[in-house]
Structure 1
Amino acid sequence: MNGLKLLEHIRNRGDQTPVLVISATENGRYAKALRLGVEDVLLKPVKDLNRLREMVFACLYPSMFNSRVEEEEGFFATGMQWLITLPRRNYYRNYNRRFSR
Structure 2
Amino acid sequence: MKVILLILISLYSQSNQEDVKVIFDSSYTLEKLLELKKDCEQQGFDLSYENLLFSESGQLRYISFKVDFNDCFSGSTSGYSYNSEGPGFIKRYGKDVESKVHFFPSSKLLKN
Q: What range is the shorter-chain TM-score in?
A: under 0.3
- Larger proportion of helix: 1
**Structure showing greater relative contact order (alpha-carbon pairs closer than 8 Å, 6 or more residues apart):** 2
Larger radius of gyration: 1
- Larger proportion of strand: 2
TM-score normalised by L of structure 2: 0.26
TM-score normalised by L of structure 1: 0.28
